[in-house]
Amino acid sequence: MTGPSSETLIEACEHLSARDAALARAFADYGVPAWRTAEPAYATIARMIAFQQITTKAARTIWDRVEAQLGTVCTEAVLGEDEDALRTCGLSRPKIRHLRSIAEAVESGALDLERVHAAEMDEARAELVAVKGIGPWTADLFLMACGRLDAFPAGDVGLMEAYRLLRDHDERMESKAFTTLADSWRPYRGVAAHLLWAWINAERAKNYAADGGG
């Protein structure tokens, strides 16, 4: 699955740079970010659920165990697996309940991810958040993975921290204020998110190397 074209991303980054000095700095420092694409499939949402509210390193370890346990992460495998077996992979009980709830919605047809992929964004988002276990943040991440240029995961701490650093502020903006600010980035809020993620990840990698990798 391919994301937006490089021409589209360049145009979007230039548009954002004209709107916001922090994004202009990120674009000047990093350049055009790679788009995080994923198939409109159950496994994509399942992985997002697994990665929520824990460190990336811990999430990758857990997800590797889940894949090893299930073989293929799909609705049938999750619904057919014993909860204790999923717990031994490192998944919490609430996350297991969410994964099963979403799997049941896909199996019943209440959630059709191909339909979501093709639908208008508001309609697609409404179908996603109607399912127990899929909150607004997860819905927006999924829509971004499907290539929606204006999908935006409001409340994402990484985005708020990147913006704080780019503005050289002592404290992060409140989530509500940051979401309001992001409205000024329409219709490219998703591109702004990718730009902020790319910038802060590059900065962290740079600092890690400067510290000798320790």
| The predicted structure's pLDDT at residue 201 | 93
> Please, which pLDDT band fits residue 205 given cuts at 50, 70 and 90?
confident
| The predicted structure's pLDDT at residue 194 | 96
> Please, which pLDDT band fits residue 207 given cuts at 50, 70 and 90?
confident
pLDDT surpassing 80 at residue 122: yes
**pTM (two decimals):** 0.88
**Greatest extent of the chain over all pairs of C-alpha atoms, in Å:** 53
Mean predicted lDDT score pLDDT of the chain = 94
> Please, which pLDDT band fits residue 210 given cuts at 50, 70 and 90?
low
pLDDT surpassing 60 at residue 214: no
**Token pair belonging to 191:** 């591109």
| The predicted structure's pLDDT at residue 89 | 97
Average pLDDT over residues 8-16: 97
Handedness of CA 48, 53, 58, 62 (dihedral sign): negative
Average pLDDT over residues 174-188: 97
> Please, which pLDDT band fits residue 50 given cuts at 50, 70 and 90?
very high
